[in-house]
Amino acid sequence: MRLLLGWKMPRKKVIFVALLFFPCVCMFGFFIMNYDSDLCYYCFQKTENYFSIKTDYKRNLFIKVPESKCKQNPPFLVLLVTTTHNQKEARMAIRKTWGKDQLIQGKRVATFFLLGTNAGKPVSLSEEINTYKDIIQKDFVDTYYNLTIKTLTGLDWIVHHCPQTRYIMKTDTDMFVNTLYLIELLMRKNQTSNLFTGILKPNDPPIRNIFSKWYISKREYDRDKYPPFCSGTGYVLSVDVAQRIYNISFSIPFFKLEDVYIGMCLDKLKVPLQELHSLPIFFAYKPSFSVCTYRNLVTSHEVQPQEIIMYWEALQIAQEENC
């Protein structure tokens, strides 16, 4: 067998050398994946915004502030849905289904979408914004690692434009939210202050794998465990907690993982996480659909716009059905 340099090597030896090197390559890969230092920080630049961001963004002015009608007709629950410019189909599905302006057991539910600015990319939403009047927008570059700013934008809006609501849920566009069941559970729980609930993460460690979307370097966070938080796929809080988080956010340094950041605020505020039900009702994945399963859950994740519509309609049609 001929190698690169025209140097002859018997086949057996090649296999031997390859076998010897394979574990080394694996170990090197493993080492790199868990390596955590400034070297990786400069290679991957994943954490850049941690240092460049100013808390001023929290104080930034709104670009679009929809009229809330909160004074005249206070909602019981406001859904704040993080979205991006290109997700119109999902927004439309949500407006027709779980996020429509509706009364559930006499309680008003109102939905608003949170958006940043789409620097450089010409997607104009002015028609959609004027038609539906449900988009809250601020001036920050709309990227995944700016989700914390997006969430704080929602809380800023609640504090200044809709403090009359009783509860707030922060969720995402790829979610199915069973608003009917959520209202029922909130009424049953009957706890109008100091409430924070969702998928509880009491003990999550930071992810140190540089290839992960949630990678956090030791520079950004040096402890082995995050404070307790709830998964950003969907959490629910009483309005007083929203106001207190907003207030304390000015003294808590920016952290790019939105749900962990909110956990840091809760930790300072000494607001405990609570369960809304003794059984799991919030899901960070998509349980397979059946009327009975979806009637008894609050969130399902990674749901396509067509599925949102299908599931919602199936639940409406089957209202009288027993499980």
Ligand X SMILES: *[C@@H]1O[C@H](CO)[C@@H](O)[C@H](O)[C@H]1NC(C)=O
Interface residue list for ligand X (CB under 6 A): 49, 57, 140-141, 143, 145-146, 190, 243-244, 247
Residue whose CB is less far from ligand X, 247 or 290: 247
CA–CA separation, 259 and 270 (whole Å): 16
Residue whose CB is less far from ligand X, 145 or 289: 145
Closest alpha carbon to 62 in 164, 196, 162: 162
Q: How far is C-alpha 293 from the chain's CA centre?
A: 23
| Beta bridge mates, 301 | 175
Residue whose CB is less far from ligand X, 32 or 141: 141
Least Å distance, CB 247 to ligand X, is 4
Least Å distance, CB 146 to ligand X, is 4
Least Å distance, CB 190 to ligand X, is 4
By residue count, the chain amounts to: 323
Least Å distance, CB 79 to ligand X, is 21
Residue whose CB is less far from ligand X, 108 or 244: 244
Q: Which two tokens stand for residue 115?
A: 């958006």
Least Å distance, CB 107 to ligand X, is 12
Residue whose CB is less far from ligand X, 140 or 215: 140
Whether the CB-CB separation of 152 and 249 falls below 8 Å is answered with: yes
DSSP letters, 226-254, are: PPPEEEEEEEEEEHHHHHHHHHHHTTS--
- SS3 (DSSP) at 286: coil
